[in-house]
Amino acid sequence: MLLNILVIFLYDPSMRVTLPIAELKPGMFVDSVHKQRADTGLKIKSRGMVRDHNIISKLSAEGVLELNIDFGLSEIAIPEKYQAKESKDSQRPDTLKLDARTKRRRAAQAEQKSTKVTKKKKKSATEPNTLEKEFELASQAFEQHNRKVQALYTDTTAGLKTDVGLINEISKEIVESVLRNSNAMAILTRLQDKDGYNWRHMINCAILVSVFAKYLGLSEELIKQLAMGAMLHDVGHARLPQGIVNKDDKLNDIEYKAVQKHVVHSLGLVKGEQGVTPMMMDMIINHHERIDGSGYPRGLKGLKISKAARIMAIVDVYDAMTSERPYQQGEEPIHALRYLLTNKEQFDPVLVQRFIKCLGVHPVGSIVKLTNDRLALVLAGNQHAPTEPNVRVFYNTKHMHHITAKELDLSGTDLDIKVVASIRPLDYQINLSRLLKEHLLI
């Protein structure tokens, strides 16, 4: 039943295009072969994502001339020449329209300079910032985002329309903050609120996806799409019985099957909304798929799961495991990372390795115990030595009192101080929110 409903959502004739083999590119989803030379002897019937140029070469060698491409499942946009003139603008993400306006603005600025009119240069929204300065901005924005998304979730639960425009606005602000400084927003994902998990998860996933996508070197436009997809991936939970969603015990089989329907609910809430791209739809549909085919809703395997969905799967599980929820105490990040690493048959092992290098074994915002009996706040990871982050020492565990804060780079060659373990703040009666404000707000 779930699959039948998905087929209805996925089928969109306007997203299907027939194009020649010469225009086939990695990232396109082949629905079927439209035309093939008759003398090849082998009729190509398989469908799936084109991952690299080797696949294109093989199809060409088999005499494939034209293919039917489903851009609803592709990772790239429909080529402009195949878009209907009357719908070109409606199919483009808002960010592309903004690019055009940006070009016009830059042209006007250049003209002003040519007439020797001097004006103060506007600071870029993504110009790099120090951790302390960005944390001040990020902490204020984080509180506002939580209030807005909580209200959005409540409205959606009540049957009102999901404000996708608000999601777009918030995800854009998150990306801009991450591009200025990856660590500020990432630290805030360590703050816990078990009663607010449903909307905190939306925000946390958008932050973590943005941090990871930046680490992977993706473009700002792609990062914005991934962040918005992350915010929308579980929005359908708002349309499930909240007694099941917030149950403080393990779900039974019937309840688990009911929860799986959140994928369909999510699609219903966002399909056709302005600014929602095929990549975002793919993340919503496939973030519970697993490499070994054990996931849902379609049991996809391996590379049939897009890179965007594989990234979303990793981030979704990581945040779910490390967050406090009505029925669980959040795991320490190192345990969640170990789970992802040991379940390589379910999660893309290459992406998991990169995710660990991105976050570090002890992610920013974690509190760690050191070999010198001190506690320290992790301020920045070390991509070359993931177990040796930059930290700020603040507490003596031997004498049980706070000390004058001191910043240390544990990878320093003259230091013989190592991380013993991550610890829970409450084990030492530490209020993490207050600690962050004391050590990071300027």
Tens digit of pLDDT for each residue in 41-64? 667 766 777 877 888 888 888 888
The total number of structural domains that make up the chain: 3
Unique residue bearing structure tokens 């030595």: 385
The reply to whether 346 and 384 lie within a common domain is: no
Report residue 133's pLDDT band, with 50, 70 and 90 as the boundaries.
very high
The reply to whether 234 and 296 lie within a common domain is: yes
Name the domain boundary from 318, 338, 359. Answer: 359
Burial (CB < 10 A; 0-12, 13-18, 19+), residue 220, is middle
The reply to whether 308 and 328 lie within a common domain is: yes
Give the pLDDT confidence score for residue 41 in this predicted structure: 62
C-alpha to C-alpha distance for 199 and 50, rounded to whole angstroms: 35
**Residue 377 — φ and ψ, nearest 5°?**
-95, 130
Any domain includes 112: no
> Which domain covers residue 302, as residue numbers?
131-359
The reply to whether 411 and 287 lie within a common domain is: no
The reply to whether 335 and 397 lie within a common domain is: no
On the question of pLDDT at 159 being above 80, the answer is: yes
The tokens describing 276, both together, are 């929602």
C-alpha to C-alpha distance for 78 and 74, rounded to whole angstroms: 9
Q: Which of 372, 320, 361 is nearest to 338 (CA)?
A: 361
Any domain includes 121: no
Any domain includes 117: no
Q: Which of 440, 362, 406 is nearest to 132 (CA)?
A: 440
On the question of pLDDT at 209 being above 80, the answer is: yes
The reply to whether 136 and 240 lie within a common domain is: yes
The reply to whether 325 and 248 lie within a common domain is: yes
Report residue 290's pLDDT band, with 50, 70 and 90 as the boundaries.
very high
The reply to whether 329 and 388 lie within a common domain is: no
The reply to whether 240 and 377 lie within a common domain is: no
Any domain includes 122: no
Give the pLDDT confidence score for residue 3 in this predicted structure: 46
The reply to whether 318 and 371 lie within a common domain is: no
Any domain includes 119: no
* β-pair partners for 433: none
**Residue 247 — φ and ψ, nearest 5°?**
-60, 135
Any domain includes 124: no
Q: Taking the complete model, does pTM exceed 0.85, yes or no?
A: no
The reply to whether 10 and 67 lie within a common domain is: yes
C-alpha to C-alpha distance for 355 and 310, rounded to whole angstroms: 11
Name the domain boundary from 334, 359, 384. Answer: 359
The reply to whether 323 and 408 lie within a common domain is: no
The mean pLDDT value for 154-160 works out to 95
Name the domain boundary from 51, 83, 115. Answer: 83
Q: Say if strands 16-20 and 64-70 run parallel, antiparallel, or are unpaired.
A: antiparallel
Any domain includes 38: yes
Q: How many CB atoms lie within 10 A of CB 369?
A: 18
